[in-house]
Amino acid sequence: MLAVVFALSAVVVAPASAKLTKSQKVHIRHQLRKAIKKNPKLIRSKSFIKKASLVNFKLPVTIRLRNSSSTSNPNNANVDLGASLGQREVDLGGKLAAEIVFHDSYDGGALGNVDLSILTGPKALSSTSIPLLWNSDVSAAGTSWDSNILAAGGATPAQLNATGHNTGCGSVLNSNANANGNLVFGAGLLPTGGGPGLPGVPIYNAVGGGPNDYPGGSPLGFAPAHIASTNLNVNNAIDAVAASKQLTGVASVDNNHVGGNPQPFPYSASSVPGGFTQPPSPADTVLRTNALSLTIANPGTQVNQSTNVDGVAGSQNIVIGKSGGQANLFGNIPGKTYGIDVTVNLATQINSILRVEDQDAFEPLIKGGNWPAAIFGCTQVWTGTVQNYIPSVHLVGNLKISPGITADGHLRIAKATIKTPNSGTSTADAARFAVSACLMPKQAYNTEVPANYTVADPTVAGSTAGDGSLLASKLPADSSNVAAAPSAACNTAPSPLVANSALPPFTVSALTGANNINGYTVGNSGSTVSVGADLDVKNVDVDILIGDV
């Protein structure tokens, strides 16, 4: 340590105008890097800063959002999606790579002024899921996802209403599961009025007049509406989608957390579209984004947002700028009322998650046949992905030198709190951008099982439980596991399970480059929707850690 101090002192003794060779600068930078790693408190030493400034020292750091895995996550932003959709709370976590760049203070810069370069790479911020659309029938008490199927089988609307089976998803709740974990199909209606119902959707041998054929025959068995466990992170129950600020890191974010607002959708006398008498809850969500991974966009990227048929359309084209800005290690940046001033340009791929409610497919289940859309009744479907950019997010705040070791053993040199300038006011410098989401189903929300893409034969030994319902291992999707968000682009060919349930993709004509459906000729497929958005970052607490963490 003494050797490092003497070596650095020799640099300071030299006049500011002294010329250092390239190899001398490299040697001094190496010494500075070793010194700051051994003693983070040097960052608040004016002598260290002077030495670092003489050689334009770059200190690699990691900017990590603080306490994002806590239920009281302090990091949040507000996204205003316009008059039709309203505002949403988005809670944040994750980390970014950066460099603190020291400049020669003898060249006119104020002591303690540094540049902050925020780097591209695999590190990313993360967000909670953003709920977009709702249907209040989803969580309405007394509703059942199987109502339309029963009506198609002969039950009248009067019978359904009399037994509380209005179309909805109120039955798809953990609290309504039987002892075996299955939801009752047709409870209160079949096999007799007031009876316990069936253990699932009937499976027949064929369509015809045989004793086990549809309609009228005895079913071979049943396909259960299955809830695998009470772990709300992995099942399709509507109460799995919940208000929560909590993030667990980029690699394991929870797509079911839709931000900390328990009433995430706009609700006022002027915003109610009619049909419900209470504010919709998170469980009423029928369209939401995945939990987003927000990386730093590559500077110079040119983004077509005017005629892009696979993403944002109808907006201006943009060129992505460099992410970073300035900070002062000892106080405010000269001439400003804050100590940090940065601009961040973000890139993210957005997948949509759709809740199927009031589906229209009433096909019977036939052994060896395809699973119809009924298999998705009140469950969820992934869409493909759409590339999005959030440019020019302007953030200001204050930095406090706070050397120490974090709970997970990393060296911290400073803490900072940043937000949008004038956040929460009419003069907030919110980032305005266009965002696009996909509406075309791609695959089941749960992990699909290709070996079960056709309906199993319940009469095969070992296929059913004691009540005649297929075992979970015979279903086309593993209800114990959520599939990763698809990486394929929006409107690419869906999985066989989705494709065979009457949800095919639209295609673009190879001859004209446009769709020709019912006389219309347009340049897009309608598989994506774009809206304008304003991003107001309310508060972000960060630790600035030394090195690549």
Q: How would you write 95-159 as a 3-class SS string? A: EEEEEEEECCHHHCCCCCEEEEEECCCCCEEEECCCEEEECCCCCCCCEECCHHHHHHCCCCHHH
pLDDT of residue 233: 43
As a whole number, the mean pLDDT across the chain is: 83
* Band (275; pLDDT cuts 50, 70, 90): low
pLDDT of residue 195: 62
Tokens 């002591």: give the residue.
111
CA distances from 472 to 21, 47, 76, 465, 496 (A): 71, 67, 39, 9, 19
Amino acid present at 486: P
Among 43-57, 217-231, 407-421, 477-491, the range of highest mean pLDDT? 407-421
**299: closest CA among 326, 319, 315?**
319
Q: Following CA atoms 451, 453, 458, 462 in sequence, which dihedral angle do they give, to the nearest 10 degrees? A: 20
Region 280-304: mean pLDDT is 94
State what percent of residues in the chain have pLDDT above 90: 46
How far is Cα of residue 212 from the mean position of the Cα atoms in its chain?
A: 45
pLDDT of residue 9: 46
* Band (509; pLDDT cuts 50, 70, 90): very low
CA distances from 153 to 130, 145, 301, 524 (A): 37, 14, 56, 38
Report the distance separating Cα 354 and Cα 438, nearest Å: 10
**H, E, C per residue of 374-395:** HHHCCCEEEEEEEEEEEEEEEE
Q: Which tokens sit at 351?
A: 């997948």
Amino acid present at 95: K
- Regarding predicted confidence, which is higher, 149 or 383? 383
In this structure, of 32-41, 69-78, 458-467, the range with the lowest mean pLDDT score is: 32-41
- The 10s digit of each residue's pLDDT in 72-114 is 999 999 999 988 788 999 999 999 999 999 876 555 567 788 9
- The 10s digit of each residue's pLDDT in 398-436 is 999 998 889 899 999 999 999 999 999 999 999 999 999
pLDDT of residue 169: 83
pLDDT of residue 115: 92
Report the distance separating Cα 359 and Cα 168, nearest Å: 10
**Cα within 13 Å of Cα(512), Cβ side:** 12
pLDDT of residue 78: 95
pLDDT of residue 6: 43
Report the distance separating Cα 318 and Cα 62, nearest Å: 28
Q: Which tokens sit at 427?
A: 């003069």
Angle 90-305-345 from CA coordinates, rounded to 5°? 45
Report the distance separating Cα 200 and Cα 471, nearest Å: 11
Helix (H) or strand (E) holding 405: strand 380-405
Angle 435-439-442 from CA coordinates, rounded to 5°? 120
CA distances from 291 to 81, 252, 257, 311, 382 (A): 17, 10, 8, 18, 13
pLDDT for residue 7 is more than 70 = no
- The 10s digit of each residue's pLDDT in 152-211 is 666 776 777 666 667 888 777 666 666 566 677 777 666 555 566 788 888 999 988 899
pLDDT of residue 106: 56
Buried b (16+ CB within 10 A) or exposed e, 33-61: bebbeeebebbbeeebbbbbbbbebbbeb
pLDDT of residue 15: 41
Report the distance separating Cα 490 and Cα 508, nearest Å: 13
- Regarding predicted confidence, which is higher, 431 or 147? 431
Cβ neighbors of 237 (< 8 A, separation 6 or more) are 172, 173, 174, 227
Look up the pTM and report it. Answer: 0.87
Instruction: Report the DSSP beta bridge partners of residue 341.
Output: 326, 396
- The 10s digit of each residue's pLDDT in 341-372 is 999 999 999 999 999 887 766 677 899 999 98
- Burial of residue 159, with CB atoms counted within 10 A of its CB: 0-12 exposed, 13-18 middle, 19 or more buried: middle
Region 493-519: mean pLDDT is 63
Helix (H) or strand (E) holding 7: helix 2-13
- The 10s digit of each residue's pLDDT in 443-457 is 999 899 999 999 999
In this structure, of 51-55, 188-192, 210-214, the range with the lowest mean pLDDT score is: 188-192
* Band (127; pLDDT cuts 50, 70, 90): very high
pLDDT of residue 4: 45
- The 10s digit of each residue's pLDDT in 223-259 is 886 654 444 445 677 888 889 999 875 455 689 899 9
- Burial of residue 101, with CB atoms counted within 10 A of its CB: 0-12 exposed, 13-18 middle, 19 or more buried: middle
